[in-house]
Amino acid sequence: MQLNDPLIKILRLTEAQKKALKKLHLTSVSDVLYHFPARYVSSTGDGVIQTTAPGDMASVVGVISKTKARKAWKSRIPMTEATLKDASGSLHLLWLHQPYISKMFPEGSAVVVTGKIKEKDGKRSMINPEITRVKTGGFGGPTSRNLEVGPPNRNNLFNTTPNSDIPLLPVYPESRGVTSRWFFYTIQKILADDVVNTAHDPIPKDILKKYNLPALGTALVWMHAPKNETDARAARKRFAFQEIFFIQLKKQQERHFTDSLPTWDIRPSQESINEFLAKFPFTPTSAQSKALTDIFNDFAGTRAMSRLLEGDVGSGKTFVAAATSFAVVTTRPPKMVSTGPALPKKSDLQKQAGRVEGKQDFGNLQVALMAPTEILATQHFESFIELYRGLPINVALITSSGCKKFPSKVNPNSWTDISRAQLLKWVANGEIPILIGTHALIQKTVEFKHLAYVIIDEQHRFGTKQRMTLARKDEKIPHLLSMTATPIPRTLALTIYGDLDLTLLDVMPPGRKPIVTKIATPRERKAVYEHIRTEVQSGRQAYIICPRIDAPDENDEMALQAKSVEEETKHLSRDVFPEFRIASLHGKMLSSKKESVMADFVSGAINILVATSVVEVGVNVPNATIIIIEGAERFGLSQLHQIRGRVLRSTHQAHCYLFTESKSQSTLDRLKVLAEAANGFELAEHDLALRGAGGLVGHKQWGVSDVGMEALQNIKMVEAARNEAKALVSRDPELSGFPLLQSALTERGEVHFE
Ligand code: ADP
Ligand code: MG
């Protein structure tokens, strides 16, 4: 057997298995070895059914004591019901649409089930759990006296007492067609061969030694067939380190590369900046001043800025973007590149020619600002108009639905529609120095004359490639400012933004009233609705956030209790607020439809917007003053914070009501933190500590594997991976002395821009 042998060569696979493996991108022996267990179970003797908390994901080893296939009373859905027993108690199991399970696992079967623990009237249950048969005796299997287990919470993959020498049974993430059991037996078979010992370790030996990490072959064995918890932990630590180290290597290589490219040396005069700042009725916050200093320092010199500006909604990021853009667009391109003498460029020649002909010359440096959606791009455009009012500087907007330019020739206080061709021409000749837009900005047809500064909003996957694409016509790389209000913990920021320097906007501008946040009980619902009625009657607007989009399907019992956007919209417009205009917004709608609903909400044509958490992304409707979040216990704290940020912008007092059905004290305590925390980043740290990486906003979108996410709990490990990667790349940028690392990085592939 070889590591790169295709699975079909060493195993007999059914068509369904082939399909499922393909979907999981598992084709070779080595791929399967990297399909890591999601958790481990073993027998502790005391049973765990009673010790797990409702809401936990748990794996429980036990014996099926009763089983029955039947049809649901009303819907006639076929189902299996069973009871699982361990030493601590019993667990009710229910599978919908799977009547055959009763035949596959008759009474007396020893199994491990994995799913979410629920509790009603003191009875514990799991709906549609994964189920795998376990052998009695042998590998962690149950004995008559000794049946139990399951990880107590998301932060703990193990159910054993630390260092106990009890064999662990790995439980694998499943997908339709390949069960955890299949993975277990397949991997045991692979491990029985000597093939893991042929794996070459890409991580340099001195690094392994320094952090006491097991070598690759050992780690693979310990991951899949640990003798004890200590071994399994060591293996997971190694792969978590490896994942972060690889990400950091790529980021550091990118950074090294952009640092080596010539850029624009921009040194704005203090005078002109003061002049710009003096236009405003407020002074920058201390955090904003620090941000301006950081950015102006980066602008000067030979290396392009690569910086992240992280700050809650309303902390004044757009203002920083506008002030620094002003410094750029009032700068003429220097004749020399600071890294050395540059050849005269065509643009310089044209400029000279232009002067000869006596035409107006628009040769200043340019700025591109890119936002993820049309609404956000439009709002940035409007903010810039506000901030640039009275200045002789053109600002334009490009989206897929058209182009606009400010100021209009007719009305200097307003914008005008222009054709795409016109816009492209004016961007190319420099007449438009500031271009704001969506992805339309990075289309091939958009060519700048002297693009010196790129600002991107909420797009962590905007990489070096996109930056180069934007600058394609110039040989110089533009400075980059990436802005985000997405609350993520420091470890995640260090990882996914590993190539960027960080500036925090952690001071809010004065005078904004904090949101009044209240946890509301079902009995208070009426009063809350009356509050909405008064607000809307006085001309304000409201958001109602629901955890689901549409009516739940009967497979998902969890969802049965959660309010859905569609049902709630119907109910509210019919029974509660017949006098108001109510619309829904959610992620399954076409983006054109979403944009138009949002536009109607922005214009005030809609009074109440019933939505899923899609409104998280920073759309600004200052007239919205009240927000209700249904099923608040289903969201992470940082996500709740981001959602309530929608009503932060108003000069009126804003209110946020959190409805929860949960009576659990820990849930209520968690929600209480929200009322007190200073900012979203603090809340993200809470989420990480309380709920694990899975509780973070958009945890699926960061491109970090589950095992890599485990590293995020450990700031020391993340810093170590970053420092080692930095050191390695500064010594050997191409990693030419580390061919194994090189090929491991290539195999990881590019992170694609969405
Ligand atoms: P962000 O982009 O971080 O959400 P903005 O830059 O849009 O925040 O600022 C939010 C609001 O606060 C805007 O109306 C802006 O004009 C105002 N603002 C920005 N900085 C200050 C400040 N230092 N003092 C008072 N108001 C400010
Ligand atoms: Mg903003």
Please give the share of the chain, as a percent, with pLDDT higher than 90: 44
User: Best of 318, 378, 381, 481 to mutate for ligand 1, by most ligand atoms within 8 A of CB?
Assistant: 318
pLDDT at 752: 35
| pLDDT tens-digit series, residues 610-663 | 998 865 555 678 899 999 999 998 888 888 888 888 887 777 889 999 998 888
Closest residue by CA, ligand 1 atom 27: 509
> What atom in ligand 1 is closest to the CA of residue 322?
6
Q: Residue 431 phi/psi, 5° resolution? A: -65, -30
Closest residue by CA, ligand 1 atom 9: 316
Asked whether residue 369 carries a pLDDT value surpassing 90, the answer given is yes
The verdict on the CB of residue 246 being under 6 Å from ligand 1 is: no
The verdict on the CB of residue 645 being under 6 Å from ligand 1 is: no
> What atom in ligand 1 is closest to the CA of residue 318?
6
Closest residue by CA, ligand 1 atom 25: 509
Tell me whether residue 273 is exposed, middle or buried, using C-beta atoms within 10 angstroms of its C-beta: 0 to 12, 13 to 18, 19 or more: middle
Provide the 10 A C-beta neighbour count for residue 184.
20
Asked whether residue 162 carries a pLDDT value surpassing 80, the answer given is no
| Banded model confidence at residue 135, pLDDT cuts 50, 70, 90 | low
CA of 16 to the centre of ligand 1 (A): 55
* Smallest-distance ligand from the CA of 371: 2
The verdict on the CB of residue 654 being under 6 Å from ligand 1 is: no
> What atom in ligand 1 is closest to the CA of residue 285?
23
> What atom in ligand 1 is closest to the CA of residue 383?
7
C-alpha neighbours within 13 Å on the C-beta side of residue 33: 28
pLDDT at 698: 64
Euclidean distance between CA atoms 115 and 176, whole angstroms: 15
Tell me whether residue 261 is exposed, middle or buried, using C-beta atoms within 10 angstroms of its C-beta: 0 to 12, 13 to 18, 19 or more: middle
Closest residue by CA, ligand 1 atom 15: 316
> What atom in ligand 1 is closest to the CA of residue 386?
16
The verdict on the CB of residue 698 being under 6 Å from ligand 1 is: no
Q: What is the pTM of this model?
A: 0.77
The verdict on the CB of residue 17 being under 6 Å from ligand 1 is: no
Find residue 484's DSSP bridge partners: 310
Closest residue by CA, ligand 1 atom 5: 316
CA of 309 to the centre of ligand 2 (A): 11
CA of 519 to the centre of ligand 2 (A): 28
* Smallest-distance ligand from the CA of 436: 2
| pLDDT tens-digit series, residues 652-674 | 889 999 998 888 888 888 888 88
User: Best of 280, 319, 623 to mutate for ligand 1, by most ligand atoms within 8 A of CB?
Assistant: 319
What average pLDDT does range 705-726 have in this prediction?
90
What average pLDDT does range 288-293 have in this prediction?
96
Query: For residue 423, what are the contacts with CB-CB under 8 A and spacing of at least 6?
Result: 396, 398, 403, 405, 432, 435
What average pLDDT does range 675-700 have in this prediction?
76
Dihedral, 706, 712, 713, 718 alpha carbons, nearest 10:
130
The verdict on the CB of residue 680 being under 6 Å from ligand 1 is: no
* Strand pairing category for 582-585 and 608-611: parallel
The verdict on the CB of residue 315 being under 6 Å from ligand 1 is: yes
